[in-house]
Amino acid sequence: MGEKDFGLNLMAYRPDPDKPGMFLMLLSPRSEVQEGRRVPRDVVFVLDTSGSMKGEKIEQAKKALHFCIDQLDPKDRFAVVQFSTMAEPFAAAWTDATDEARAKAREWVRRFEASGGTNVGEALQKAFALPVDPDRPTTLLFITDGRPTVDVTDIEALSKLVKDHNRRNLRIFTFGVGDDVNTHLLDRMANETGGLPEYVRPSEAIDGKVTRLFAKMSHPVLTELSLEVPGVRIAEVLPRQLPDLFRGSQVVLVGTYTGDGDSVIRLRGRAGHKTEEFTYEGTFPKKTTDRAFIAALYAQRKIGFLLDQIRLHGEERELKDEIIRLSLAHGIETPYTSYLVLENEAQYRQYGITVSGTAVVGGSGGGQTPSPPTTLTTAVPSPGLRGEDLAARSARAADRLNREFDLGKASAEGLVPNAQPTGTFPRPGTPGSPADEPPIQPTYGSGAAASGVRADAEALRGAQTGEKAVEVAQQIQRLRQTEKAGRDDRAAKRVQERAGRRLVLYRGVWVDEAFQGTEKMTKVKWGSEAYFRLARERADLREAFSLGQRVVVVTTPGQAVAVDPDEGAETLSDEAVRALMEPAAK
């Protein structure tokens, strides 16, 4: 194989030349990679047949195994282990994937019945007893719907068993079926070997998830990947263990670098018994402000990795601090910034903000209120305020503020494309207002996109099993595997700088990065005399207010102002204004 068989694309983002740059690297085999270059592999299927799998689950699992066995190439070898109270292998050694052998294995699988306990340890020992050929990639698919209940049940002991038998060419892919699985065990099994954990929720089909993954990895072309970039220092790469490369797939890497300039990029990997090396050229610039989405993609993956470290191995202060820094810098929800995430009417009121069902005006999408989760009570518009009245009042207030402070001349330097110029308040129907641009809609529940982790710190560190544990595990994995940052340009508008202050858009509310959630809160009505008085009092508040009609901003340590379009103080006394500018008494 040569360089023409694999494509490598490099992009970089480095707005500050005095800080490490970030890069995005895409690796993919060319479409011309032929079947003859497929790497023969060894595959172990390990299936839980305990009593809890009875019924539809065992039937779906057997259907999935039949599909996977049929997908094996004659050059492959395979093994099957079923386990309940005890573990039983299909054969004592590897089986060549001949037509006859595959037919016998399918018949053996067809006779599986669900009964007994869950002996995870013995199942793993049977699988690890198979000899490992260093020239063949080895894949272990582990399917279970429960926690270990027989023999070795300690998660640390089972994790150590996996670690002790890990090999450089072994990948474990775990499938947790339902919510009674131990997420820590399954995730550690997969993470330890460079595989992936998957979860099949109660409403999902086992066979669909298993067969989709297995079909993607049916044609390995390069395994045990490594990168070398001698011209610069690569400080970090995510994922930390590079995945194998399959025909029709793409490996997406993000990382950081120091130094700059042109450099050779060497990609190494194994194709069967041979180690292949491919050489490319790339440029790691000293400064470049293009492709800012790379920063968001890096932040998502880094946060996912750090959250997993805390979830599986315990909380460390430096990990937590880095998560908070990245979360605030990029507007990514985490358990450590959950106080900024307003989910329902009660929480909006806690921080002095109302949820209005009426469209409101705000710069860069800032005055928009996303739909709350359907499981919560949806707020209704404030009584007595019709949509056209609000729009008219918004237009008058925006015109007044722009006129009084001459904000229309402010510079938009450093902001994202199409954002309002610094300090400018948009009127309804102007570019950048909600009338022209739909809000960035968050998603909720197990189907959430990779925009963050919606759980508190206690849930992160808490239960290893149950519905919440599975949801947290899934959300973290989406962050670690995300490839989609930057596909929606509006996402870049979630973080804005105003007069040296950074504000982050959290579900329709612009929140000061300095906000801790413990400040004494003063709520003022948007467009009121109180609002204009604060805007006259301090230029930095005026700049922050320009983002929209729902803003939370810290005025001084221990004091904060919440701007709300529907309710709040309409006048402020001299004493009240002075109090807002003085640190709150402890």
Q: Provide the pairing of β-strand 245-246 with 220-228.
A: antiparallel
SS3 content of the chain, % helix, strand, coil (to 5): 35, 25, 40
Question: pLDDT at position 3, please?
Answer: 57
**Domain residue extents for the chain:** 3-36+220-291, 41-216, 349-440+488-586
Burial of 33 (0-12, 13-18, 19+ CB in 10 A): buried
Question: pLDDT at position 327, please?
Answer: 84
What tokens appear for 518 in the block? 């413990």
Residues comprising the chain, all counted: 586
Question: pLDDT at position 298, please?
Answer: 94
Question: pLDDT at position 245, please?
Answer: 85
CA–CA dist 522, 567 (Å, integer): 12
- Helix spans in 314-456 (H): 317-330, 345-350, 387-405
Q: Provide the pairing of β-strand 42-48 with 77-83.
A: parallel
CA–CA dist 87, 331 (Å, integer): 47
DSSP 452: B
CA–CA dist 307, 477 (Å, integer): 10
For the domain 3-36+220-291, what is the CATH code? 2.60.40.1230
pTM of the entire predicted model: 0.70
Beta bridge pairs of residue 403: none
DSSP 30: -
HSE value, Cβ hemisphere, 13 Å, CA-based, for 307: 35
CA–CA dist 447, 47 (Å, integer): 26
**How far, in Å, are 3, 227, 547 from residue 388 at the CA level?**
62, 59, 21
Residues 6+ apart with CB under 8 A from 268: 225, 226, 227, 228, 275, 276, 277, 278
Question: pLDDT at position 6, please?
Answer: 82
Question: pLDDT at position 388, please?
Answer: 38
For the domain 41-216, what is the CATH code? 3.40.50.410
Q: If we measure between CA atoms, which residue out of 440, 234, 431 comes closest to residue 333? A: 440
- The DSSP H or E segment spanning 88 is strand 87-89
List, as one string, the DSSP characters of 266-298: EEEEEETTEEEEEEEEEEE-S-B-S-THHHHHH
Segments of the chain scoring below 50 in pLDDT: 342-345, 347-348, 350-395, 397-398, 401, 404-449, 486-492
Residue with structure tokens 């404030």? 382
**CA 316-322-328 angle, 5° bins:** 135
Cis peptide before 239 (omega within 30 of 0): yes
Question: pLDDT at position 333, please?
Answer: 82
The answer to whether residues 341 and 351 touch, using CB atoms and an 8 Å cutoff, is no
Helix axes 387-405, 529-537, angle to 10 degrees: 30
Position 547, amino acid: L
Residue with structure tokens 């948007």? 526
What tokens appear for 297 in the block? 């993609």
The answer to whether residues 248 and 222 touch, using CB atoms and an 8 Å cutoff, is no
What tokens appear for 334 in the block? 């985490």
Q: Left, alpha or beta for 548 (phi > 0: left; psi -120 to 50: alpha)?
A: left
The two domains 3-36+220-291 and 41-216 share their CATH topology (first three levels equal): no
The answer to whether residues 42 and 137 touch, using CB atoms and an 8 Å cutoff, is yes
- 3-state secondary structure string, 347-371? HHHHCCCCCCCCCCCCHHHCCCCCC
- pLDDT tens-digit series, residues 21-53: 999 999 988 765 555 567 889 999 999 999 999
Torsion over CA of 468, 470, 473 and 478, rounded to 10 degrees? -110
**How far, in Å, are 218, 317, 453 from residue 342 at the CA level?**
44, 25, 14
The answer to whether residues 254 and 303 touch, using CB atoms and an 8 Å cutoff, is no
CA–CA dist 480, 430 (Å, integer): 38
**How far, in Å, are 29, 206, 584 from residue 212 at the CA level?**
20, 10, 57
CA–CA dist 438, 440 (Å, integer): 7
- 257 in helix, strand or coil? strand
List, as one string, the DSSP characters of 175-214: EEESS-S-HHHHHHHHHHHT--EEEE-TTS-HHHHHHHHH
